[in-house]
Structure 1
Amino acid sequence: MGELGIKRVYEPADDVDGFRALVDRLWPRGVSKERARLDAWWKELAPSPALRTAWHHDPARFDEFADAYRAELDDDLFVAEALDVIRAHDRVTLLFAAHDEHVNHAAVLRDYLAARL
Structure 2
Amino acid sequence: MTVQLRRVYDQPSDGDGLRVLVDRLWPRGLTKERAAVDLWLKEVAPTTELRRWFHHEEQSFDEFARRYRAELADNPAVAELRRVVAEHPVVTLVYGAQDPVHNQAAVLRDLLA
TM-score by length of 2: 0.97
Helix, strand or coil for the counterpart of 1:7?
A: strand
Give how far 1:37 is off.
1.1
AA of the residue aligned to 1:56 = H
Distance between the aligned counterparts of 1:90 and 1:111, measured in 2?
Answer: 17
1:20 matched residue in structure 2: 19
Which stretches of structure 1, 4 residues or more, deviate above 6 A after TM superposition? none
Among all aligned residue pairs of Structure 1 and Structure 2, give the percentage whose two residues are the same amino acid: 53
Segments of structure 2 that go 5 or more residues without pairing to the other structure are none
Aligned alpha-carbon RMSD (Å): 0.8
Q: Any residues of structure 2 matched to 1:106-117 within 5 Å, and which?
A: 106-114=105-113
Aligned-pair distance for 1:29? Answer: 1.1
5+ residue gaps in structure 1?
none
Count of aligned residue pairs for this structure pair: 113
The whole-number CA distance in structure 2 between the counterparts of 1:81 and 1:58 is: 29
Matched residue of 2:93: which SS?
Answer: strand
Between the aligned partners of 2:99 and 2:80, the Cα distance in structure 1 is 27
Give the TM-score of the pair, scaled to structure 1: 0.93
Offset at 1:105? 1.0
